[in-house]
Chain A
Amino acid sequence: MTVTRRGFLKKGFVGGAILAGGGVLALMAAPGKRTRSPSGKLAVLSAYEYAIFSAAAARLVPGDGAPGWPSAEALQTADKLDALLAQLHPGAARDFKRLLHVFESAVTGLTSSGMPLPFTRCTPAQQDRRLQAWRHARVELLRSGYQAMKRLAHALYYSSPPTYERVGYPGPPVVPQSAP
C-alpha cells in the first residue's frame, strides 16, 4: 500500500516530468490551507505533509459529507499514518512523503485535472476531481499514487471501532480468555 521512490521514478517520461515539475513547484508554492493540525509530535511527516494527507483523507472517507459518520480527523487518520510510516522502511516513508508533495502541487493539478492550484487550496468538489483524475489516469504512476493514499486512508479509517456501527459490523465477539 505504500508507493515507492523507484516506482515513482521509473515510470517513464510523463511521470518523471510531472515529478520534476511537482517537486520544484511544491517547494516554491506557499503552503496550502492548514486547517488540520497534528494532535501530538509527528515522527515522520512535516506539518505541511500532514495537512496534505489530512485533506485527501477527508475526501476519501465519508466523514466530511455523511451525517453520523466520524470525520477522518476525529479518528486521527493522519496521526495514525505518521505512526505507521515511522515503522516502515525509511525509503518507503520517503517515497510516500514525496508522493504527497507531487499530489499537492499546482502543476500536477493542472496537468492531471486542469486545476492549477495546490490540492489543499481547492474546493471539496475540485479535490474530488483531482482524486478521480489520478484514480483513472492513463499514467500508471498516478494510479499507483492514488491507490497508496486511498488504501492507507481507508485502512486507517475503517479499522477504527467507531466506524463499525456505521457499516453494520457488530465487532469481534467476546471470547473468554480463560478458555483452553
Chain B
Amino acid sequence: MSILSPGRIRDARLEPNLAVECDYAIVGSGAGGSVAAAVLAESGARVMVVEEGGHFTRRDFNMQEAWAYDALYQDHGNRATEDLSIVILQGRTVGGGTTVNWTSSFRTPDRTLALWASRHGLSGLDAAALAPHFAAVEARLSIREGDPDDVNANNRKLLEGARKLGWNPELIRRSVKGCARLGYCGMGCPLDAKQTAALTYIPDALAAGAHLFTNARAKLIETDRGRAKGVVCDVTVANSPRPKRFVVYARQGVLLAGGAINTPALLLRSKIVNASQALGQRTFLHPTVPLVSFYDEPIEGFYGAPQSVACHHFADRGERVGYFLETAPVHPMLSAVAFSGFGDAHRRTMERLAHAQATIALLIDGHHDDAGGRVRADPDDRIRIDYPLSPALREAAVDAIKNMARLQLAAGAREVVTLHEDPLVIRSEADLAQVDGAAFGPNRHTLFSAHQMGGAAMGNDRATSVVDGRGRHHELENLWVVDGSIFPTSLGVNPQLSIYAHARLFATEIARHH
C-alpha cells in the first residue's frame, strides 16, 4: 500500500500488474460511483475507484466534436443497439455521464416511485426516504431554480410553442455554477462551470483518502463463498498485445457504478446471475425522437445552454406510452448523423443548420407492458444491446412527432422536417396526417438515447429483480449496484440527479453498517 499516494487520481497504465487492497472497491466514477466513494471514504473506509475512461480536465475540453465523442463517450461515440436503430450517447471518462451531460436535474417523479411500489414490489423507497439525499446532492451540485436567462433561441421556441398550446412548459434546474452558456456541455465544460462528479464528489472522495485509477476497465468481479472479493481490471498499455491485469481486492464490499448497460454486462461476464434471469433484461433508454424545424431567423442552436426548457404535458397518457419534450444542441456532427439522407439532399439540410431548431421527445419506456431492451455480454468482452421497438412505443413516437410539429408551427416555424428516412415536410396542421402513414421502425427514422437505465433492477422479489431496495445484490451480500441499472423502469426525467440520490442513500446505509 505504501506505493500509493493517498487521495490522488492515478493512471493505471503507469501501474500495470498491480494488486491493491481496500475496504470498498467501486467500479465507475460517474454520478453513482463518485457520491458513493465520497460517503464511504468520509465514513473512514478505505475506498478505491476504478474508471475505464481517462481523466480529462477543462484544459482538454476543446469544444470540438471530433475530439469529444472519441475521448469522452462509450465506444468512442459509436455505441448503438445491435441493429443500429438507436444511437446511444453514454459517457466514459472520469465523472462518467456527468462530464458530458446537458446538466438537466430532476428529482425522481412521485408517479414513477409509486409505480415501482405498486407494480415492482419495491417497499421503503419513497420520496421521504430520498428527500434528504436529493437536497444534499442539489446543494453540492449548485442546482437551483431554473433561470430564464439560460433560455437560448432553440429552447425559447419550445417554451413559446408549449405556452401557446397550454402545455405547461417549465424551466429546467441545471447543475451549474458561473455558467457562461457557451453551449458545449456535451463535450466537457471548458470553464468548469458545470458541476460534474469530477469537480464535486470525486474531489470530496479524494480528500477523504480515496484513490481513483483511470484507464482500468473492470472485466470481472471475483467471488469467494458467496461474497464479492475484488475487481479484476484490464489495462490497455501501448505496444502490448494483451491488456495487463490490475486487481483491487475489497475487504468489505464491491459497489458497481459503471452505468446501465456496463454494469449488467460486468455481472453477466462474472457469471453472477440470479435464478430469475432478470439480469440484463428490462434495459430502458428513453428512446428519443428528434424533430427539426426551420425558422426564418437564425436560431444558432449550437450556442447557449443546451437544455433549459422541458414539457411534461404528455408524460402521462393513461394506457398509452407517455413522453416528455426537451431540446438537443445543434452541433454539426450530431446533426449530420441525425439528419436523414445523403449527398446533395443532406447538404441542403445542413446548409440551414444555423436556422434549425431541434425538439426531442423522450419516450417513457417500461411504465406499461413494454419490456425495454436486453444487454448481453459475449465471451470476447463485447457488449450487445437489443432493443425491439414495440407497437406501443411506435404509437407514442408517431404521436410525439405530430405534437412536436404542432408546437413548432405554433412557435412560428417556417417548416418542420421529420427525420424519417423519407422525410416529411410539414407546413400546416393539414400536413400532419402524413405522419400516420410514414414508415416507422428500425432505421426508418432517427432515434437516439442519452439516458440508460435498468438491467439490474431493484425489487423485493428475487424472481424479477437483481438487487433489493437499497442496492444490495440478492445473492451476494457484500455486492451493491449504485447506478442507473437499478431502476425498474425508465424515470420519465433526465436521470443524473436520481442516480446521485439513490447512490447516496445506499452508500449512507452501507457506511452505517460497516
Contact = CB atoms under 8 A, between A and B. Distances in A.
- A159, A164, A177, most chain B CB atoms within 10 A: A159
Interface string B343-383: 11011001111110000000000000000000000101110
A136 B445 CA distance: 11
Given A1-B78, A91-B382, A180-B192, A151 B182 contact: no
Interface stretch (B42-50, B59-67, B207-215, B506-514): B59-67
B84 interface: yes
B337 A140 contact: no
Given A140-B442, A140-B443, A169 B332 contact: yes
Contacts of B182: 172-173, 175
B396 to A, nearest CB: 21
A163 B335 CA distance: 13
A159 B190 CA distance: 18
A88 B461 CA distance: 38
Given A66-B347, A140-B442, A169-B354, A88 B76 contact: yes
B342 A60 contact: yes
Contact of A131 (B63, B192, B342): B342
B343 A167 contact: no
B444 A154 contact: no
A177 B59 contact: yes
A155 interface: yes
Contacts of B431: none
Kindly state the interface size class of chain B when it binds its partner. Answer: 35 or more
B421 to A, nearest CB: 6
A167 B77 CA distance: 22
A168 B353 contact: yes
Interface string A141-180: 0011011101101111111110110111100110101011
Interface stretch (A3-11, A19-27, A30-38): A3-11
Contacts of A60: 342-343, 346
B76 to A, nearest CB: 5
A2 interface: yes
Given A147-B443, A172-B184, A62 B347 contact: yes
A133 interface: no
A101 interface: no
A114 interface: no
B190 A1 contact: no
B87 interface: yes
A177 to B, nearest CB: 6
B343 A163 contact: no
B351 A166 contact: yes
A62 B64 contact: no
Interface string A34-70: 0000000000000000000000000111100110010
B87 A1 contact: yes
A159 B192 contact: no
Contacts of B303: 173
A3 B83 CA distance: 7
B349 to A, nearest CB: 9
A53 to B, nearest CB: 14
Given A91-B382, A151-B337, A155-B337, A168 B75 contact: no
B66 A159 contact: yes
A156 B66 CA distance: 7
A144 B343 contact: no
A117 interface: no
Nearest to B58: A177
Contact of A169 (B87, B302, B444): B302
A87 interface: yes
A162 B374 CA distance: 40
A85 B191 CA distance: 32
A99 B75 CA distance: 19
A6 B87 CA distance: 18
A146 B443 CA distance: 9
B178 to A, nearest CB: 7
B70 interface: yes
A178 to B, nearest CB: 10
B24 to A, nearest CB: 30
B511 to A, nearest CB: 32
Interface of A: 1-4, 6-7, 59-62, 65-66, 69, 84, 87-89, 91-92, 128, 131, 135-136, 140, 143-144, 146-148, 150-151, 153-161, 163-164, 166-169, 172-173, 175, 177, 179-180
Interface of B: 58-59, 62-66, 69-70, 75-78, 80, 82-85, 87, 178, 182, 184, 190-192, 302-303, 331-333, 335-337, 342-344, 346-347, 350-355, 378, 380-382, 384, 421-422, 442-444
5 contacts: A88-B75, A135-B421, A140-B442, A155-B337, A180-B191
Given A60-B342, A173-B182, 5 more contacts: A65-B343, A166-B351, A168-B353, A169-B332, A177-B58
